Amino acid sequence: MNKELKQAVELPYTIGFCILNDTVLMLHRKFPPNQHLWNGIGGKIAPGETPDDAIAREIMEEAHLDVNLAQSVNYVGIVTWTVVRDETNHHKGMYAYTIRFKDGIEWKNKVTDEGLLEWKALDWVIDKENRQVVDNIPHFLPPMLEASEPVRYHCQYTDGNLDQVFIYPL
């Protein structure tokens, strides 16, 4: 990741989308946030950890996949959103990655402490009418898969409903 960018943006979370051919490894979450929805893999960045290290650790912990065996690991930008509480705005966000694996990885769907991990068809994951996937993923994952440069994907919500996803240069 660009060191200047990393210093300019400090976000608490990571999210990664493991890709194998035309499938995406998704987590059906047991717990909030996004409980009972399919999401990418990620989590909180530990103190002293870089976002790159955090996504590698999270994928290993949750999916038992070593990103060092991936065909590519791409930092694709940040996903941000604004949470309105007590008439104040709190900005939240995560560093986003796509991790492409080659055919031949040995992996089976599994239940973890976080939920069920399962390879899902990419077309199913990015279907904007699919209410089983976290609502913003179908809006930002397709451009992430095509991106040549990291960008910011900002999700605008009103009363808990996604209105729009804006894409800005970083």
Q: For the chain (length 170 residues), average pLDDT per consecutive 10? A: 50 96 97 96 95 97 94 96 65 92 84 94 98 97 95 89 91
**Long-range contact set of residues 119-122: C-beta below 8 Å, sequence gap at least 24:** 119/20, 119/23, 119/24, 119/25, 119/26, 120/23, 120/24, 120/25, 120/26, 120/38, 121/22, 121/23, 121/24, 122/19, 122/22, 122/23, 122/24
Q: Roughly how many angstroms between the first and final C-alpha of the chain, as a whole number?
A: 12
Up-side HSE of residue 44: CA atoms within 13 Å toward CB? 3
Determine the pLDDT at residue 91. Answer: 66
Q: Are 19 and 100 in contact (CB under 8 A)?
A: yes
| Residue positions counted in the chain | 170
**Burial profile 115-146: b = 16 or more Cβ within 10 angstroms, e = fewer:** bebbbbebeebbeeebeebbbbbbbbbeebbe
* pLDDT score for 4: 43
Q: What is the pLDDT of residue 2?
A: 43
pLDDT attached to residue 3: 45
pTM for this predicted structure: 0.90
Identify the pLDDT of residue 106: 77
Q: Which helix (H) or strand (E) holds 118?
A: strand 115-121
Q: What is the pLDDT of residue 6?
A: 42
CATH number given to 3-169: 3.90.79.10
Task: Give the pLDDT of residue 83.
Answer: 66
The pLDDT assigned to 150 comes to: 96
